[in-house]
Structure 1
Amino acid sequence: MKKTFKILFFVKRTRVAKNGEVPVQVKVTVNRERAEVSINLTVKPESWNAATEKAIGKDRKSVELNSRLDTVRFRLMEIYREMELNAEYITVRKIVDKYLGVETKPPIMLLEIFRDHNKKCQKLMGKDMSVSTVKRYETSYRHTEEFIKLNYQKEDIPIEDVNYQFVKDYEFFLKTERNCCHNSTMKYLKNFKKIIRIAIANEWLHKDPFMNFKVTFEEVKREFLEQHELEKIMSKEFKIERLSSVRDILVFCCYTGLAFSDVKTLSQEHLVTDNEDEFWIRKPRVKTNNMCNIPLLDIPKQILDKYRNHPICQKSGVLLPVLSNQKMNAYLHEIAEVCGIKKDITTHTARHNNYSFLLKMSDLQFSFPSTGNDLETSKLLFLSFFYIKNPKSDFFSKNIILSSIIPHR
């Protein structure tokens, strides 16, 4: 990263002493960050040349003043060059403090704060924080560590060295070196911003580097399956077992609105019955810990029955044999291709699909808590918070027995 370093001598014409002289000061600038320093020198206003930044005249006082100004300039440049040679992260505050001989305490390091934060997150996992949130902070830490090594050739940097330029360079790094899309980049910067807030709260950092940087998210166009597309997937007979089970899990998600992480951890304890002996899924969301109350309709119930004795379910104590998110998405793309559906189907498609179907097919009453600034959640009414009353369509309530989905192995 290119550094700019400037030294400017000027006089404070508003601070005139009794002898008519004004103080000479030096302004040091590093990458647009400035600091003014008093150098205990004075001069008559009429004897100062602002263009040359020196005293006018050949008299002894002017010559002596100019000589001392040269000494100050030389010392400041010497400090700057020493820092460059030592590959230090240079700030105007560091240069000024070194010039004034100010003793500095051992700096608080950025990654040190980040590590401490992540250790606390680990202890809160499953209580105040979800596994996915903790993992995102860990990934954010690794990205920050890699960025520092690449840009500064350092293992860590002082937190006081983090400024607006650091944030902009980090954003560029995430989008180029890590190949993150805009929204992923913003999520990592949002994680990093929390570390900055911790530093400011503890007075380790006195200026917010995010002051002129706005974390913004672009609206993402979500893929939805139309009703006929879902029915096409449901009725398709797959001879390959992995595709068949992945299809079943997709259908289950479409009918329940559960997210991938919630379906993967769904177990018998999450199934309850109401006063009318109707089955419900009652489960806290992995991501937010908000409680879901979801009616278990006929088709998802039949899917659960189908996998009751599946080896993976028996071994892991779960209700469905859910693979990794990466494998699920790969197989869903394969399913879409086989069914002639030209859409990017993922595990999250079902979550959005559920809202679309229910709004069209049922008379719904929704109640949902405040969702904070979660962009995705704020734009959708997720099934996690709904309660169905008086369904007016038998699309969900009738016993649809599809031979390709329901047969037990």
Structure 2
Amino acid sequence: MPTVKAIIRKNKVNLKGECVVYIRYGHMEKSVDISTGIRIEPKFWNDDKQKINSILGLRKSKSNEDLLKEKEKSDLYANSGIDKIKSELIGIARLLQHDDIEPETHLVKEKFLDKKKPKTKLKIEDNLFTLFSEFVDNSSKSDTTKRNYRTVEYHLKEFQKFKKRRLALKDFDIKFYDQFKQFLFNDLTKPDGTKGLSDNSATSTIKNLKVFLTYLEKRGYDFQHIIPHLKATYQDTPIYFLTEEDIVTLYEHVFESKKLEKVRDIFILNCYLGLRYSDLSRLTKDHIVNDVVELRAYKTLKDIYVPLTPIAKDILRKYDYELPMMSEQKMNEYIKEACKQAKIDQKVEKISTSSGNKTYKQIPKYEVITTHIAVKTFISLCCKKNISPKTVSIITGKTVKVIMKHYLGMDKSTVKDQMIKAFA
């Protein structure tokens, strides 16, 4: 079991009477001392607490109050640095153990010192967008996530045009971040001609920009002056879903267009499967065992286990288990038209937030229908059928927290039924 302990070597002091604070890392009866770079007089070291205490034995008075506060502040900073190094060493040891590597003393020290090596200085000739393309190409994320990364690249290029100068890596500082954020919220022109992104769209851009800079950081570039400041929070949005009545209406509607009929079938199927579109797109008969869909999610690598309902079976058999899939973009376009023709047009409230300002608008439900709504419909149906969130978590591979916050919607009849039963 790896251990860490802060120590000093009282027999090794410099001309000022100071000695170095070391962190002693131990594993399997071997140990190695790693310097913290902190020097103190031995009398100020508390060996039991492994802390520096520079005011030990000093009495507080009005004359030395400011001095004592300064010493306390200095001790706090130094002790925090000592604790941080302890945590880093234990973290390195745990990562090695996770990879089935014995965290031997020399390995842990080597990895710790590697992390402390000076970062590569940014070069003027390093091309921002060349590096961004490499970042996207090297990513193992889904195609949808890669498209989101490309959106960041597009926004950076638009910001470059707005500023009328070429963006370079050396520009990425707090001033850049403040200006870029202002641009996203107020000045970026959208395809419909309006200006400014919604809060959640801007948040997505900021979070993915942070992913890009972290990618560069791991490859030797230094962005620690900005990465910790790239903070943005998603605003909660309404959870749209189809009710059972909506599903029946859509499923029984007779379309003149075979294309819309196929789109409707794919969408309804996923209202009973709850799969990400990327997983639905690769669904084959081989994934179905004893009327249960079993596959590993492409995005999260978590196992998905979905028993088939009668309607899901009928749709799969209709296409002989070879679904007529299309791009998600086309699917989102056509499912709106299908729902419009089926008169899924009851009013829902759309809330948009930009720069913290909310606008409310009543629109027909078909306008908010996308492939993602099928997943929310599936989870909401499960709730109405009294399937526990924990069971839904096992089925979908999503955490209970994510399900409760982003996917679970309740129609008015469900709320009414539960209230009547609760207070009957």
TM-score range (shorter-chain normalised) is 0.5 to 0.7
Provide the C-alpha distance between the structure 1 equivalents of 2:370 and 2:242, rounded to a whole number of angstroms.
11
Aligned to 1:349: 373
Aligned equivalent of 1:118, options 136, 140, 165: 136
Aligned to 1:267: 284
| CA pair 271-236 structure 1, distance change in 2 beyond 3 A | same
Provide the C-alpha distance between the structure 2 equivalents of 1:319 and 1:268, rounded to a whole number of angstroms.
8
Give the TM-score of the pair, scaled to structure 2.
Answer: 0.53
Aligned to 1:303: 315
- CA deviations on 1:296-329 (whole Å, 9 max, x unpaired) are 2221111011112xxxxxxxxx721122223222
| CA pair 164-104 structure 1, distance change in 2 beyond 3 A | closer
Aligned to 2:14: none
Provide the C-alpha distance between the structure 2 equivalents of 1:244 and 1:174, rounded to a whole number of angstroms.
39
What stretches of structure 1 of length at least 5 have no aligned partner? 1-102, 274-278, 309-317, 383-409
What stretches of structure 2 of length at least 5 have no aligned partner? 1-120, 191-196, 346-364, 409-424
Deviation at 1:212, TM superposition (A): 4.3
**Residue 379 (structure 1) aligned with residue 405 (structure 2):** yes
- CA deviations on 1:247-268 (whole Å, 9 max, x unpaired) are 1111101111112222222122
**RMSD across aligned C-alpha pairs, in angstroms?**
3.1
Contact 1:329 1:347 survives alignment (8 Å) = yes
**Residue 162 (structure 1) aligned with residue 186 (structure 2):** no
Aligned to 1:334: 337
Q: Could you tell which deviates more after superposition, 253-262 or 328-337?
A: 328-337
2:256 partner SS: coil
Between the two proteins, the alignment pairs up a number of residues equal to 257
Provide the C-alpha distance between the structure 2 equivalents of 1:223 and 1:370, rounded to a whole number of angstroms.
20
Contact 1:164 1:209 survives alignment (8 Å) = yes
Give the TM-score of the pair, scaled to structure 1.
Answer: 0.55
Contact 2:273 2:308 survives alignment (8 Å) = yes
Give every structure 1 segment of 4 or more consecutive aligned residues whose post-TM-superposition deviation is greater than 6 Å.
369-372
**Residue 195 (structure 1) aligned with residue 212 (structure 2):** yes
**Residue 139 (structure 1) aligned with residue 160 (structure 2):** no
- CA deviations on 1:183-236 (whole Å, 9 max, x unpaired) are 122112111112333455566336522544521111111212111111111222
Provide the C-alpha distance between the structure 1 equivalents of 2:154 and 2:213, rounded to a whole number of angstroms.
16
Aligned equivalent of 1:223, options 240, 252, 263: 240
2:305 partner SS: strand
- CA deviations on 1:149-195 (whole Å, 9 max, x unpaired) are 442521x41x3321122122222333432533321221121111123
| CA pair 235-131 structure 1, distance change in 2 beyond 3 A | same
Deviation at 1:291, TM superposition (A): 2.0
1:293 partner SS: strand
Q: Could you tell which deviates more after superposition, 328-337 or 222-231?
A: 328-337
| CA pair 198-141 structure 1, distance change in 2 beyond 3 A | same
Provide the C-alpha distance between the structure 1 equivalents of 2:184 and 2:252, rounded to a whole number of angstroms.
43
| CA pair 304-162 structure 1, distance change in 2 beyond 3 A | same
One-letter code aligned to 1:177: L
Aligned equivalent of 1:323, options 302, 306, 326: 326
Provide the C-alpha distance between the structure 2 equivalents of 1:349 and 1:195, rounded to a whole number of angstroms.
29
- Bigger Rg, structure 1 or 2: 1
- CA deviations on 1:362-383 (whole Å, 9 max, x unpaired) are 44452459969x996572578x
| CA pair 245-106 structure 1, distance change in 2 beyond 3 A | closer
Provide the C-alpha distance between the structure 2 equivalents of 1:260 and 1:306, rounded to a whole number of angstroms.
20
| CA pair 167-298 structure 1, distance change in 2 beyond 3 A | same
Contact 2:158 2:188 survives alignment (8 Å) = no
Aligned to 2:267: 250
Contact 1:164 1:213 survives alignment (8 Å) = no
Provide the C-alpha distance between the structure 2 equivalents of 1:322 and 1:217, rounded to a whole number of angstroms.
31
One-letter code aligned to 1:192: L
Deviation at 1:359, TM superposition (A): 1.4
